[in-house]
Structure 1
Amino acid sequence: MTKLEDYLEEIINIFHQYAVPVGDFYALSKGELKQLITKELANTIKNTKHQPTINKTFQELDANLDGQVMFSEFISLVASVQETGHENIHKH
Protein backbone atom coordinates (compact mmCIF):
# COMPACT_ATOMS: atom_id res chain seq x y z
CA MET A 1 0.00 0.00 0.00
CA THR A 2 1.01 3.59 -0.47
CA LYS A 3 1.65 5.96 2.41
CA LEU A 4 -1.71 7.68 1.90
CA GLU A 5 -3.52 4.34 1.74
CA ASP A 6 -1.86 3.34 5.02
CA TYR A 7 -3.04 6.57 6.65
CA LEU A 8 -6.58 6.10 5.35
CA GLU A 9 -6.67 2.55 6.70
CA GLU A 10 -5.40 3.80 10.06
CA ILE A 11 -8.34 6.25 10.29
CA ILE A 12 -10.67 3.26 9.88
CA ASN A 13 -8.75 1.30 12.50
CA ILE A 14 -8.92 4.16 15.00
CA PHE A 15 -12.67 4.49 14.45
CA HIS A 16 -13.06 0.76 15.12
CA GLN A 17 -10.99 1.03 18.33
CA TYR A 18 -13.69 3.22 19.86
CA ALA A 19 -16.87 2.18 18.03
CA VAL A 20 -19.04 -0.81 18.88
CA PRO A 21 -20.77 -3.19 16.48
CA VAL A 22 -24.36 -2.25 15.68
CA GLY A 23 -25.74 -4.95 13.41
CA ASP A 24 -23.58 -5.11 10.30
CA PHE A 25 -21.68 -1.89 10.99
CA TYR A 26 -19.93 0.07 13.73
CA ALA A 27 -21.08 3.24 15.46
CA LEU A 28 -19.93 5.64 18.16
CA SER A 29 -22.08 6.65 21.10
CA LYS A 30 -21.59 10.13 22.54
CA GLY A 31 -19.30 8.69 25.23
CA GLU A 32 -17.25 6.77 22.69
CA LEU A 33 -16.92 9.84 20.50
CA LYS A 34 -15.72 11.80 23.53
CA GLN A 35 -13.09 9.14 24.26
CA LEU A 36 -11.90 9.16 20.64
CA ILE A 37 -11.68 12.95 20.47
CA THR A 38 -10.05 13.25 23.90
CA LYS A 39 -7.38 10.64 23.18
CA GLU A 40 -6.81 10.99 19.43
CA LEU A 41 -7.48 14.69 18.73
CA ALA A 42 -6.49 16.35 22.02
CA ASN A 43 -3.95 18.60 20.30
CA THR A 44 -6.22 19.44 17.38
CA ILE A 45 -9.67 20.12 18.82
CA LYS A 46 -9.98 22.65 21.63
CA ASN A 47 -12.05 21.90 24.74
CA THR A 48 -12.11 18.13 24.21
CA LYS A 49 -13.02 17.62 27.87
CA HIS A 50 -15.76 20.26 27.81
CA GLN A 51 -19.06 18.35 27.65
CA PRO A 52 -21.00 21.09 25.79
CA THR A 53 -18.32 20.98 23.07
CA ILE A 54 -18.68 17.20 22.81
CA ASN A 55 -22.49 17.49 22.74
CA LYS A 56 -22.34 20.07 19.94
CA THR A 57 -19.85 18.01 17.94
CA PHE A 58 -21.98 14.88 18.38
CA GLN A 59 -25.13 16.69 17.23
CA GLU A 60 -23.34 18.07 14.18
CA LEU A 61 -21.99 14.63 13.22
CA ASP A 62 -25.20 12.65 13.84
CA ALA A 63 -26.71 13.66 10.50
CA ASN A 64 -29.53 11.10 10.57
CA LEU A 65 -30.35 11.85 14.24
CA ASP A 66 -30.23 8.20 15.33
CA GLY A 67 -28.15 8.88 18.44
CA GLN A 68 -25.05 7.27 16.97
CA VAL A 69 -22.16 8.41 14.81
CA MET A 70 -21.55 6.03 11.93
CA PHE A 71 -18.26 5.96 10.02
CA SER A 72 -19.78 7.93 7.14
CA GLU A 73 -20.73 10.66 9.63
CA PHE A 74 -17.38 10.46 11.46
CA ILE A 75 -15.54 11.11 8.20
CA SER A 76 -16.99 14.63 8.12
CA LEU A 77 -15.12 15.34 11.37
CA VAL A 78 -11.90 13.97 9.89
CA ALA A 79 -12.38 16.12 6.78
CA SER A 80 -13.07 19.22 8.86
CA VAL A 81 -9.98 18.67 11.02
CA GLN A 82 -7.87 18.12 7.90
CA GLU A 83 -9.23 21.23 6.23
CA THR A 84 -8.46 23.35 9.30
CA GLY A 85 -4.98 21.86 9.50
CA HIS A 86 -4.38 22.64 5.85
CA GLU A 87 -5.52 26.24 6.30
CA ASN A 88 -3.27 26.65 9.36
CA ILE A 89 -0.23 25.41 7.42
CA HIS A 90 -0.75 28.16 4.86
CA LYS A 91 -1.11 30.89 7.49
CA HIS A 92 2.52 30.56 8.57
Structure 2
Amino acid sequence: MSTQLEMAMDTMIRIFHRYSCKEGDRFKLNKGELKMFLQRELTDFLSVSPRCSLVDKIMQDLDANKDNEVDFNEFVVMVAALTIACNDYFVEQLKKKGTER
Protein backbone atom coordinates (compact mmCIF):
# COMPACT_ATOMS: atom_id res chain seq x y z
CA MET A 1 0.00 0.00 0.00
CA SER A 2 1.30 3.44 -0.94
CA THR A 3 1.84 6.22 1.57
CA GLN A 4 -0.02 9.52 1.25
CA LEU A 5 3.14 11.21 -0.02
CA GLU A 6 3.70 8.49 -2.63
CA MET A 7 0.09 8.86 -3.77
CA ALA A 8 0.49 12.65 -3.96
CA MET A 9 3.61 12.27 -6.10
CA ASP A 10 1.84 9.78 -8.36
CA THR A 11 -1.11 12.15 -8.70
CA MET A 12 1.16 15.06 -9.61
CA ILE A 13 2.88 13.00 -12.32
CA ARG A 14 -0.43 11.75 -13.72
CA ILE A 15 -1.98 15.22 -13.79
CA PHE A 16 1.03 16.66 -15.64
CA HIS A 17 0.84 13.95 -18.29
CA ARG A 18 -2.95 14.25 -18.57
CA TYR A 19 -2.41 17.75 -19.97
CA SER A 20 0.99 17.38 -21.66
CA CYS A 21 -0.17 14.64 -24.01
CA LYS A 22 -2.90 16.71 -25.70
CA GLU A 23 -0.78 18.53 -28.32
CA GLY A 24 2.79 18.61 -29.64
CA ASP A 25 5.52 17.18 -27.41
CA ARG A 26 3.71 14.78 -25.10
CA PHE A 27 6.25 15.35 -22.34
CA LYS A 28 5.84 19.15 -22.17
CA LEU A 29 3.03 21.62 -21.67
CA ASN A 30 2.60 24.18 -24.42
CA LYS A 31 0.78 27.44 -23.72
CA GLY A 32 -2.66 26.00 -24.50
CA GLU A 33 -2.10 22.95 -22.32
CA LEU A 34 -0.78 25.13 -19.49
CA LYS A 35 -3.84 27.37 -19.72
CA MET A 36 -6.15 24.34 -19.60
CA PHE A 37 -4.23 22.97 -16.61
CA LEU A 38 -4.45 26.29 -14.74
CA GLN A 39 -8.17 26.66 -15.45
CA ARG A 40 -9.09 23.12 -14.43
CA GLU A 41 -6.64 22.27 -11.67
CA LEU A 42 -5.75 25.54 -9.91
CA THR A 43 -8.95 27.56 -10.00
CA ASP A 44 -9.09 28.05 -6.23
CA PHE A 45 -5.46 29.18 -5.98
CA LEU A 46 -5.68 31.60 -8.88
CA SER A 47 -9.20 32.70 -7.89
CA VAL A 48 -9.75 34.02 -11.41
CA SER A 49 -9.96 32.41 -14.80
CA PRO A 50 -6.48 32.79 -16.31
CA ARG A 51 -6.38 35.61 -18.81
CA CYS A 52 -4.05 35.33 -21.74
CA SER A 53 -1.62 37.81 -20.15
CA LEU A 54 -1.60 35.81 -16.90
CA VAL A 55 -0.89 32.58 -18.77
CA ASP A 56 1.88 34.37 -20.71
CA LYS A 57 3.43 35.60 -17.45
CA ILE A 58 3.26 32.17 -15.81
CA MET A 59 4.72 30.55 -18.94
CA GLN A 60 7.54 33.09 -19.04
CA ASP A 61 8.32 32.59 -15.35
CA LEU A 62 8.27 28.79 -15.55
CA ASP A 63 10.03 28.28 -18.86
CA ALA A 64 13.59 28.23 -17.52
CA ASN A 65 15.14 26.93 -20.77
CA LYS A 66 13.08 29.34 -22.95
CA ASP A 67 11.69 26.71 -25.32
CA ASN A 68 8.11 28.06 -25.00
CA GLU A 69 7.04 24.89 -23.21
CA VAL A 70 6.93 23.73 -19.61
CA ASP A 71 8.64 20.41 -18.96
CA PHE A 72 8.05 18.30 -15.85
CA ASN A 73 10.95 19.86 -13.93
CA GLU A 74 9.61 23.35 -14.58
CA PHE A 75 6.10 22.15 -13.64
CA VAL A 76 7.34 20.78 -10.32
CA VAL A 77 8.94 24.17 -9.55
CA MET A 78 5.50 25.80 -9.99
CA VAL A 79 3.76 23.22 -7.78
CA ALA A 80 6.45 23.58 -5.12
CA ALA A 81 6.24 27.39 -5.18
CA LEU A 82 2.45 27.30 -4.83
CA THR A 83 2.71 24.76 -2.01
CA ILE A 84 5.21 26.96 -0.17
CA ALA A 85 2.96 30.00 -0.63
CA CYS A 86 -0.02 28.05 0.74
CA ASN A 87 1.99 26.86 3.73
CA ASP A 88 3.23 30.41 4.42
CA TYR A 89 -0.36 31.66 4.32
CA PHE A 90 -1.50 28.83 6.64
CA VAL A 91 1.29 29.57 9.13
CA GLU A 92 0.52 33.29 9.03
CA GLN A 93 -3.15 32.60 9.75
CA LEU A 94 -2.21 30.39 12.70
CA LYS A 95 0.04 33.15 14.07
CA LYS A 96 -2.78 35.67 13.79
CA LYS A 97 -5.05 33.36 15.76
CA GLY A 98 -2.36 32.90 18.41
CA THR A 99 -2.23 29.15 17.95
CA GLU A 100 1.36 28.89 16.79
CA ARG A 101 2.97 25.68 18.00
> Structure 2, unaligned stretches of length 5 or more?
94-101
> Structure 1, unaligned stretches of length 5 or more?
none
2: CA distance between counterparts of 1:74 and 1:48? Answer: 19
Identity of aligned residues (%): 32
Q: Which runs of 4+ in 1 moved over 4 A?
A: none
2: CA distance between counterparts of 1:78 and 1:72? Answer: 10
1: CA distance between counterparts of 2:42 and 2:33? Answer: 13
Following superposition, the deviation at residue 81 of structure 1 comes to: 0.7
- How large is the Cα RMSD of the aligned pairs? 1.4
Pairs aligned (count):
90
RCO greater where, 1 or 2, for CA within 8 Å and sep 6 or more?
1
| 1:72 correspondence with 2:73 | yes
Helix, strand or coil: the match of 1:44? helix
Which residue does the alignment assign to 1:42? 43
TM-score (ref. length: structure 1): 0.90
Which residue does the alignment assign to 2:34? 33
